[in-house]
Amino acid sequence: MKPADHGDELRLIGPAITDVAGEPAGSTQVERLIARYHWTASYCDGRVVLEVACGTGQGLGLLASRARTVYGCDISSENLSTARQTYKSTIDFVQANAQQLPFADESVDVIALLETIYFLPSANDFLLEARRVLRPGGWLLVSSINKDCPDFNPNHPLYFAHYGVVDLAAAFDRHGFEPECFGIIPMDKPSLRSRAFQPLKRMAVGLNLIPESMQARRFLKRIVFGQLQPMPRDIAALPAPAAAPIRLSTDRRDAIHQVVLCAGTRRR
């Protein structure tokens, strides 16, 4: 069965959910970005790599430093324009829906979808496409905000689904992948200020008070996260995380880590 398009829905939310290069970001937001891309890069040596929903491409330079070939795919032309300005002709970009990938069967060694799966109208369609495009033995890499973490807010207006370790592992298994899971950014990492403002953040999201304009979002971020820093355009030259991802059981919920990582090899 041909996957549903959902393109209009994704185009509408695409620019709103991206960690945009150059925009103000909290320290934990940048830390998460660096950690998930270094984890992804560890699977990329000498391989053909596709990042789906690559946004403005902050991690693609790091992946390209280890991969044979890297492709960046995003539904937003605005995001891809920024990414192309950063990498010029060194990385190939394609505008496409994550649920209808314009790649041949069994043509890619690694597919990464990082902190995006909960924004997809149909994660099932993406997983079917990933299995089609990956070569046997290839790796599917997905990172997700952890729904089992105590500070997780389920009321985000743009979430289509919520995932923890057990949910991701089960979805991988159903679609023909052998999963292994990890956790990053333990709960003791956020600053006291960030934790103190969690109730305010939940209330703002729950009441749909997250502003639409970028200027208003910057102001809200300063209130919640304090001192902000520019989101890097390319993290390749930045230091690697001090702590490695922690391996997690695939059949037990994890309430410690803010982000869960799932890697799965494509079964034949």
The answer to whether 185 and 258 have CB atoms below 8 angstroms apart is yes
Q: What is the mean pLDDT of the chain?
A: 85
Provide the pLDDT for residue 155.
73
Domain range summary for the chain, segments of one domain joined by +: 7-266
Q: What is the Cα–Cα distance from 224 to 195, expressed in whole angstroms?
A: 9
Provide the pLDDT for residue 8.
45
Residue 10 pLDDT more than 90? no
Residue 254 pLDDT more than 90? yes
pLDDT tier at 13 (50, 70, 90 boundaries)?
very low
DSSP secondary structure, the chain, as one string: -PPP--HHHHHHHTTTSS--TTSEE-HHHHHHHHHHHHHHHTT-TTSEEEEET-TT-TTHHHHHTT-SEEEEEES-HHHHHHHHHHHTTSSEEEE--TTS--S-TT-EEEEEEES-GGG-S-HHHHHHHHHHHEEEEEEEEEEEEBTTSTT--TT-TT-S--B-HHHHHHHHHHTTEEEEEEEEEETT-S-HHHHHTHHHHHHHHHTT---SSHHHHHHHHHHHH-S-EEPPS--TTSPPPSSPPEEE-TTS---SEEEEEEEEEEP-
CATH classification number, 7-266, choose in 3.30.70.20, 3.30.460.80, 3.40.50.150, 3.40.50.800: 3.40.50.150
The count of C-alpha atoms lying within 13 angstroms of the C-alpha of 39, restricted to the half-sphere facing its C-beta, is 31
Structure confidence by residue, pLDDT tens digits, 161-218:
999 999 999 999 999 999 999 999 998 754 454 555 556 555 555 555 454 444 555 5
Structure confidence by residue, pLDDT tens digits, 23-53:
887 888 899 999 999 999 999 999 999 999 9
Provide the pLDDT for residue 25.
79
CA-CA distances (angstroms) from residue 131 to 95, 128, 235? 20, 5, 29
Query: Which two structure tokens, joined as six digits, stand for 25?
Result: 């970001």
Q: What is the Cα–Cα distance from 11 to 196, expressed in whole angstroms?
A: 34
Provide the pLDDT for residue 226.
55
Provide the pLDDT for residue 39.
98
The answer to whether 93 and 80 have CB atoms below 8 angstroms apart is yes
Q: What is the mean pLDDT of residues 226-248?
A: 91
Structure confidence by residue, pLDDT tens digits, 116-175:
999 999 999 999 999 999 999 999 999 999 999 988 887 778 889 999 999 999 999 999
Residues of the chain above pLDDT 70, percent: 79
Q: What is the mean pLDDT of residues 69-95?
A: 96
Q: What is the Cα–Cα distance from 77 to 107, expressed in whole angstroms?
A: 24
Of residues 223 and 118, the one with the higher pLDDT is: 118
Provide the pLDDT for residue 213.
46
